[in-house]
Amino acid sequence: MRKKIVAGNWKMNLNKDEAEALTTALVLELGAQPSGNQRVLICPPSVHLSGALALVGAGGRLEVGAQNMHQAESGAYTGELSGGMLASYGVGSVLIGHSERRAYFHEDNALLKEKVDAALGHGIEVVYCFGELLEERQSDTHFAVVATQLKDALFHLSADQWSSVVLAYEPVWAIGTGVTASPEQAQEMHAFIRQTVATHYGDHCAQNVSILYGGSVKPDNAAELFGKPDVDGGLIGGASLKVDDFMAIVNAAG
C-alpha cells in the first residue's frame, strides 16, 4: 500500500534559531501520534540540514530531506552539494525539479534526469516535482506537458527503482499565489499521472507510487484535496513554516 506523505519545503526561509525551534516543535507534536500509513518530511535549506538531522534523531517520525543537489559526484561547482555529501549526513530524500529551480536556475528535463540518477545512485529517495504553467493549462496542453516532464526525467528507470521515487505534481499557477487547483482538477491530473506511469510500467508500479499535490495547500483545503483517491498527500510551502498549520495539514492526511 502506498504511503500518505506530507512534505514541508521551507525554501529560503528561517534563521538558525527559527529552524531549530520549528524542528523541535514538530518532533514533539509527532512523537505523540501514531504513524499509521503516513510519512512526514521536512526539507530545510542546506545550512540547516545537519542541525535538523540531529534534532530528529534516529527512528523518529519526522524525516529530513534536501531541497536540491548537484548531478556531479564532486568537482569545481562552488556552492553546490553532491548526492554523496547528502548521503554521508543521513539525508534520505531530495526534491528534484521544483518549479522554482526550473524557472530561476533553468533546470530542464535532461538535467533533472541526471540528478535523479545521481540521487538514486546514493540511495536517496527522489521527490520529483513537475507541473504546468498557467498558459499551458489555458491552452489545454497541460496533460502533454506533464507527460513529457515525467517521461524525459524518469521513464529510463527500472520498475524496481520506482520504489525510491515520490511524485509531486505542482501546477505552477498555484504555487505561492493563493490559488489552489480544485480537488476535482487535482484528482483529474493525479489520475492521469498514475495512468501514464501504468502505461509504461504496469499497474502494480503505478498503484504503489505516492503522488503528492503542491500549490497553496492550507489547513482549510487539505482534507478535501487529500480525500481524493489519487492524491496521496502534499508538498507544502508557506504553511510548513508554522507548526499549527503544518500539523493541521498532517492530520488532514491521516
Banded pLDDT at 31 (limits 50, 70, 90):
confident
Looking up residue 245, the CATH number of its domain turns out to be: 3.20.20.70
Of the candidates 48, 98, 142, 190, the residue annotated as catalytic is: 98
Q: Of 175, 239, 177, 218, which Cα lies nearest the Cα of 22?
A: 239
Our answer to whether residue 98 is catalytic in this structure is yes
Give the separation between CA 90 and CA 104, rounded to whole angstroms.
28
Q: Of 54, 122, 41, which Cα lies nearest the Cα of 82?
A: 122
pLDDT of residue 181 exceeding 70, the answer is: yes
Of the candidates 100, 107, 125, 170, the residue annotated as catalytic is: 170
Banded pLDDT at 33 (limits 50, 70, 90):
low
pLDDT of residue 176 exceeding 80, the answer is: no
Cell numbers that stand for 108 in this block: 530542464
* CA 100 from centroid of its chain's CA atoms: 13
Residue count of the chain: 254
User: Tell me: the pLDDT tens digits for 118-142?
Assistant: 999 999 999 999 999 989 999 999 9
Residue 44: which domain range? 4-253
Q: Residue 181, Cβ neighbours under 10 Å: how many?
A: 25
Q: CB within 8 A of 65, min separation 6: which ones?
A: 7, 41, 42, 43, 91, 92, 93, 94, 95, 125, 127
In the chain, how many domains are there? 1
Between 147 and 33, whose confidence is greater? 147
Per-position b or e across 126-159, b if 16+ CB within 10 A of its CB: bbbbbbbbeebbeeeebbebbbebbeebbeebee
Q: State the Cα torsion 16-19-20-26 to the nearest 10°.
A: 180
Residue 177 phi, psi (nearest 5): -100, -15
Our answer to whether residue 170 is catalytic in this structure is yes
Banded pLDDT at 34 (limits 50, 70, 90):
low
Q: Of 202, 102, 110, which Cα lies nearest the Cα of 153?
A: 110
Give the separation between CA 110 and CA 4, rounded to whole angstroms.
29
Cell numbers that stand for 98 in this block: 521544483
